[in-house]
């Protein structure tokens, strides 16, 4: 079993330019690495929650993770190495993973970084002391706001399914509010310029 895990293929990120929400897990499970798809564990409820919260408009499964960019979503992990659990992950892997994640965030500039699990939050912000609640956080990452979701693994006994669904629905409401503010900003800017007597700039063809 150890030999099989050591030779598992790397799990490819699903991130495209223009991503609104980047979902972040700790690291892939064995089945995710074997299938080549994120959150593929038999008991993982990520995809069901994504559908039932209406973050996506139809029912999808782990086999549809390539479609996430259609709805402005992306997915990655802090650590790329697949393991049966997170107990074998090493400190230096977290350090390197945090640096790589921050580089991805700075490259793709998502509006929201959604951490799938309180453990993910603690891995990214090891200096944080005290309890961690789900929802919007005071911390930011590379200019993106941070939102914590429950760990969707079937092993997570700290949250009921109803509580997980409520957290995902809260993310949907937050993303909707963020996108609405962003869509209004150009209109507000044009009005301010008009009041000030400033004409919008026009690019010149050379």
Give tens-digit pLDDT for 5-19.
556 888 999 999 999
Residue 201 confidence class, pLDDT cut points 50, 70, 90? very low
| Residue 186, both tokens | 């150009």
| Residue 38 in this model has a pLDDT that exceeds 80 | yes
Is residue 134 within 8 Å of residue 148, measured between CB atoms?
yes
Of the chain, the percentage scoring pLDDT greater than 90 comes to 73
What is the rounded CA–CA span in Å between residue 78 and residue 93?
9
Give tens-digit pLDDT for 79-135.
999 998 888 899 999 999 999 999 999 999 999 999 999 999 999 999 999 999 999
Which residues neighbour 197 within 8 Å (Cβ) at sequence distance 6 or greater?
A: none
Is residue 114 within 8 Å of residue 147, measured between CB atoms?
yes
Q: Pick the more confident residue, 115 or 205.
A: 115
Supply the pLDDT for residue 10: 84
Partnered with residue 77 across adjacent β-strands are 25
Give tens-digit pLDDT for 132-158.
999 999 999 999 999 999 999 888 888
What is the rounded CA–CA span in Å between residue 14 and residue 3?
27
Residue 187 confidence class, pLDDT cut points 50, 70, 90? low
| Residue 196 in this model has a pLDDT that exceeds 90 | no
Supply the pLDDT for residue 168: 98
Supply the pLDDT for residue 150: 97
Give the burial string for 94-129 (b: 16+ CB within 10 Å, else e). Answer: beebbeebeebbeebebbbbbbbbbbbbebbbeeee
Residue 34 confidence class, pLDDT cut points 50, 70, 90? very high
Of the chain, the percentage scoring pLDDT greater than 70 comes to 86
């Amino acid at each position: 079993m150890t030999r099989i895990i050591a030779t598992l293929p790397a799990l490819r990120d699903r991130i495209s330019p223009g991503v609104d929400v980047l979902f972040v897990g700790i690291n892939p499970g064995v089945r995710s690495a074997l299938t080549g798809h994120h959150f593929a564990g038999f008991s993982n409820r990520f995809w069901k929650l994504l559908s039932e919260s209406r973050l996506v408009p139809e029912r999808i499964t782990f086999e549809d993770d390539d479609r996430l960019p259609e709805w402005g979503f992306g997915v990655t992990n802090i650590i790329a190495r697949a393991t049966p659990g997170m107990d074998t992950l090493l400190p230096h892997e977290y350090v390197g993973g945090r640096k790589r994640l921050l580089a991805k965030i700075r490259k793709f500039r998502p509006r929201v970084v959604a951490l799938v699990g309180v453990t993910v939050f603690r891995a990214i912000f090891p200096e944080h002391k005290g309890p961690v609640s789900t929802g919007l956080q005071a911390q930011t990452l590379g200019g993106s706001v941070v939102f914590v979701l429950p760990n969707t693994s079937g092993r997570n006994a700290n949250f009921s399914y109803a509580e997980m669904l409520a957290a995902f629905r809260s993310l949907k409401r937050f993303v909707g509010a963020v996108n609405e503010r962003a869509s209004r900003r150009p209109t507000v800017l044009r009005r301010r310029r008009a009041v000030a007597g400033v004409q919008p700039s026009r690019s010149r063809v050379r």
